[in-house]
Amino acid sequence: MSERRTVALVTLGCARNEVDSEELAGRLAADGWDLVTDAGQADIAVVNTCGFVEAAKKDSVDALLEASDLKGAAGGRTRAVVAVGCMAERYGKELAEALPEADGVLGFDDYADISDRLQTILSGGRHTAHVPRDRRKLLPVSPAERQDGAAGVAVPGHGHGAPGDLPPGLAPASGPRAPLRRRLDSSPVASVKLASGCDRRCTFCAIPAFRGSFISRRPSDVLNEARWLAEQGVREIMLVSENNTSYGKDLGDIRLLEALLPELAAVDGLERIRVSYLQPAEMRPGLIEVLTGTEKVAPYFDLSFQHSAPGVLRAMRRFGDTDRFLELLDTIRTRAPRAGVRSNFIVGFPGESEADLAELERFLNGARLDAIGIFGYSDEDGTEAAGFDGKLAPEAVAERVERVTRLAEELTAQRAEERIGETARVLVEAVEPDGTAVGRGAHQAPETDGQITIGPGGGEPPRVGAFVEAEITGTEGVDLFAVQRAAAPGAEREPASAMAAGAAG
């Protein structure tokens, strides 16, 4: 019998990275590796890095160094540490030279052969770190030609060639689909990759260069993966990509998401479908209708506004302004008054004036967002904005971040207080020994938008993965407190009477 090989996956960054880690886990498990959660008890630790902004890159380097410190530690078995993910793809050989503590730096092109790569490194060999390239050039310029031209191009989450004889617990149990996937936790919520890459050319963003051009997964692959996740006990799926509003444009149907969502909602076992990463400039009346009027589809809008001052948005190569954005939110809330809305904003962009900042504050005051992320501008390698004039001093950027963050915290706390008295359908994700349950309502995405704590009642506490009806009784920032009312077998969509009452009010 061959020696047992163990591997631990450490994931940083966004939900897309989490999906990629489960693809790597599936490929490794299919080739006989044992997955462990403790990096100190693994022969090899694989760190799935984030390369989006400086803070994320620092976290990735820290995680690699922390894993490297495990090598040779008493009571441990770690012999090698490998970097994968966005930072590894973006910097490749440069990262390998700057961080000799990592025994390997693997790019996306290595994912299909991840088992062989790790075995080589574990056996004392070296795998040459890749030289980064602009991945936008790997697919045809025309979206209509990309599906046929994608053969041989590595796109995490889109891999093909699943072996026919799979160990238990690996997708695809529900039929052929790509890629292999092994869950790394038992959470009742999981992300599903809808597409990869981005065709937008925002001047501050480097993601398209190392993630590539936009390419959709086929609906059959998405549906089969959703069915498999439901068989694993998942109750809520979150659709992720760099830009979900573009889904289907390379498959000949820009409205494909509107058709796919009802099909996902019909999957046995799934009770909530959530869509993330929506571009305001690409929102369509039909998509708003489906997101607010389809049973089991959460009326949730993760809208990438980034700013609202027209001059700043044009410099970012984005579209819209305060009034158009407020009109969009009014359209959404006319259909679903209790809809959840979140967004991120960049302050201190080159050339941003005090009047621009005041315009952003005007938008925030009128938008009534449930969750707000505020980020200070910093130059990113290879982006157009890095060469712009009009840069603000770091101290000025930090002051603006602090100022707008204070406003955002005040406004989101007020928005949370508006929900007191509402009844929320809560997906329970944890239950404390005293019976206190913690979960999320339809307006709250995992990790980013706060949570709902349901105090212990007199009866049997809810189980993890159950949906319960709870009345909101209090708040702390964006977090809510509630008392359980009854089990909730009904739909995710707001009752028509509540929607009508909200619209009338």
Annotated binding site for [4Fe-4S] cluster: 14, 50, 86, 198, 202, 205
- Phi first, then psi, for residue 55 (nearest 5°) are -60, -40
DSSP 456-482: --SSPPPPTT-EEEEEEEEEETTEEEE
Amino acid letter, 122: L
In sequence order, what E strands does 359-436 have?
Answer: 371-376, 423-431
Q: Which of 49, 387, 352 is nearest to 210 (CA)?
A: 49
What the block records as the tokens of 405 is 């963050």
Binding-site residue positions? 14, 50, 86, 198, 202, 205
DSSP 84-130: EHHHHHHHTHHHHHH-TTSSEE--GGGGGGHHHHHHHHHTT---PPP
What the block records as the tokens of 170 is 């690996």
What the block records as the tokens of 106 is 């693997």
Buried b (16+ CB within 10 A) or exposed e, 11-37: bbbbbbbbbbbbbbbbbbbbbebebbe
Rounded Cα gap, residues 272 and 294, in angstroms? 10
What the block records as the tokens of 496 is 């028509």
Please confirm whether the linkage preceding 262 is cis (ω < 30° from 0). Answer: no
Directed axis angle between helix 322-335 and helix 496-504, to 10°?
A: 140
Rounded Cα gap, residues 342 and 302, in angstroms? 5
CA dihedral sign of residues 229, 231, 234, 235:
positive
Q: Could you identify the residue written with the tokens 């149907």?
A: 253
Rounded Cα gap, residues 265 and 274, in angstroms? 10
Rounded Cα gap, residues 331 and 449, in angstroms? 22
Name the 3-class secondary structure at 425: strand
Rounded Cα gap, residues 449 and 435, in angstroms? 23
Rounded Cα gap, residues 156 and 461, in angstroms? 40
Q: Which of 337, 304, 328 is nearest to 442 (CA)?
A: 337
Q: Could you identify the residue written with the tokens 């201190």?
A: 348
284 forms beta bridges with none
Tell me if 197 sits within 8 A of 242, measured CB to CB: yes
